[in-house]
């Protein structure tokens, strides 16, 4: 099969998978127990009237038959018109994009994911050459420790040490609360302030995630370094750096490509715990508040965006395989 034919087939499979995700996403929230936030807000209110219940049911389409609700929801997902939030009664897509939450999450998750991948891969390549030594043991142990520690514990510890005790960084938030569109400082001051507020949550997420890439890289590199072509490359007098990064890492990189693609695919999901601990106004904290309020349109939109991101990331990884390893045949 040619590359073009493979891409067409993968695109068709991807579209079918997206349709399945949309359908499953709707079924999950239909069978979920409890009352949706729009109606639950009236329960316990002795002054609520039948007219108020009817108003909410009509506004959010809860009075429609299940099939009609599903068709409306299906079209909303395909057109990225995620409906109205039960909590704020504003369009969900506006609260995701225009509120700055998407920008904040991309900044936090994008930077921490890129750092964890770069640090984990480079460190994994280095320790694979020193397998069994003290540096290898220290690297593996430290990565397992940071990978296993609760994210909220690391975040709270950083706030206690670097924010409250030393006063080096702000304890939370995205920017100073006194900032308004009419009182914005100069661009360099804005960038420096954003970095100060970003640093602690970014380091927290990096510490939690880099260990997985280090261990994966180390394992694949150790297997690659035991191959005969590595012995041949060293016998030719090639430098150890060239042997590690040009020969061994290139052949050991396929699992790392998949892990990296899926990591970036999860960027739009937000970091619920980290964003909550540091009061970071991103998509993760937005989803956390929606769960507490049973804001189904917000939860459906966030779960759909996350699934869609992972599906697209997996598709990109499949297409990149052939560029990295020419031995792979598209079938």
**Model confidence pLDDT, tens digit, residues 238-266:** 777 787 877 777 777 778 888 888 787 77
Lowest mean pLDDT of 27-41, 207-221, 302-316, name the range.
27-41
Q: What is the pLDDT of residue 222?
A: 84
Averaged pLDDT, 142-150: 86
The candidate with the shortest Cα–Cα distance to 307, out of 77, 108, 90, is: 77
Two tokens, residue 263? 């990591």
Mean pLDDT of 107-129: 87
Q: How confident is the model at residue 102 (pLDDT cuts 50, 70, 90)?
A: confident
Q: How far apart are CA 63 and CA 205, in angstroms?
A: 43
Domains and CATH numbers, the chain: 3-96 (no CATH), 100-293 (1.10.3720.10)
Could you tell me which of 187, 163, 189 has the C-alpha nearest to residue 279?
163
pTM: 0.79
Over 70: is that where the pLDDT of 331 sits? no
| pLDDT single digits (tens) 262-295 | 787 777 766 788 888 888 888 888 888 888 777 8
Q: Is the pLDDT of residue 46 over 80?
A: no
> What's the mean pLDDT in 198-209?
90
**% of the chain with per-residue pLDDT over 90:** 5
Q: How confident is the model at residue 135 (pLDDT cuts 50, 70, 90)?
A: confident
The residue to which tokens 């007219």 are assigned: 51
Look at residue 2 in the predicted model and tell me its pLDDT.
66
Dihedral of alpha carbons 327, 217, 122, 258, sign: positive
User: Which residue's structure tokens are 């900032």?
Assistant: 179
- pLDDT exceeds 70 at position 16: yes
Categorize the per-residue pLDDT at 173 as very low, low, confident or very high, splitting at 50, 70 and 90. Answer: confident
Alpha helices (H) along the chain: 3-31, 37-40, 50-59, 66-79, 92-97, 101-129, 134-148, 151-158, 187-225, 228-235, 240-242, 249-252, 254-265, 272-277, 283-293, 296-324
- Tokens 């127990």: give the residue: 33
For residue 40, is pLDDT > 60?
no
Confidence of residue 203 (pLDDT cuts 50, 70, 90): very high
More confident residue, 63 or 189: 189
- Name the β-bridge partners of 84: 91
Mean pLDDT of 62-79: 80
Mean pLDDT, rounded, of the chain: 80
Residue closest to 306 by CA, chosen among 255, 257, 262, 259: 262
What is the pLDDT at residue 62?
A: 66
Does an H or E element contain 4, and which? helix 3-31
Q: Quick check: 309 and 268 in contact, CB under 8 A?
A: yes
> Are the CB atoms for 26 and 8 separated by under 8 Å?
no
User: Please, what's the b/e burial string for 36-64 (b: 16 or more CB within 10 A of its CB; e: otherwise)?
Assistant: bbbbebeeeeeeeeeeebeebeeebeeee
């Amino acid at each position: 099969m040619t590359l073009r034919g493979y891409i067409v087939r993968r695109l068709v499979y991807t579209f079918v998978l997206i349709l399945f995700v949309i359908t499953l996403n709707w079924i999950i929230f239909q069978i979920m127990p409890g009352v949706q936030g729009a109606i639950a807000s009236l329960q316990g209110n002795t002054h609520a009237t039948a007219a108020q219940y009817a108003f909410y049911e009509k506004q959010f389409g809860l009075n429609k038959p299940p099939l009609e609700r599903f068709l409306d929801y299906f079209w909303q997902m395909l057109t990225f018109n995620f409906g109205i939030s039960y909590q704020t009664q504003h369009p969900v897509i506006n609260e995701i994009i225009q509120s700055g939450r998407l920008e904040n999450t991309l900044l936090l998750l994008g930077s921490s994911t890129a750092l964890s991948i770069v640090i984990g891969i480079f460190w994994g390549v280095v320790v694979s050459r020193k397998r069994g030594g003290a540096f290898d043991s220290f690297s593996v142990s430290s990565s397992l420790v940071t990978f296993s520690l609760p994210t909220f514990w690391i975040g709270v510890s950083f706030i206690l040490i670097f924010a409250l005790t030393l006063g080096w960084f702000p304890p939370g938030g995205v920017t100073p609360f006194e900032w308004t569109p009419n009182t914005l400082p100069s661009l360099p001051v804005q960038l420096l302030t954003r970095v100060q507020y970003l640093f602690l949550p970014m380091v927290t997420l990096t510490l939690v995630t880099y260990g997985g890439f280090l261990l994966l890289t180390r394992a694949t590199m150790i297997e690659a370094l035991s191959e005969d072509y590595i012995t041949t490359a060293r016998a030719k007098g090639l430098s150890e750096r060239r042997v590690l990064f040009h020969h061994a890492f290139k052949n050991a990189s396929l699992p790392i490509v998949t892990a990296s693609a899926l990591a970036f695919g999860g960027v739009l999901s937000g970091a619920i715990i980290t964003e909550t601990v540091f009061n970071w106004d991103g998509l993760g904290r937005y989803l956390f508040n929606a769960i507490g309020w049973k804001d189904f349109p917000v939860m459906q939109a966030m779960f759909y965006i996350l699934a869609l991101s992972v599906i697209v990331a997996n598709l990109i990884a499949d297409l990149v395989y052939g560029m990295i390893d020419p031995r792979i045949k598209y079938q």
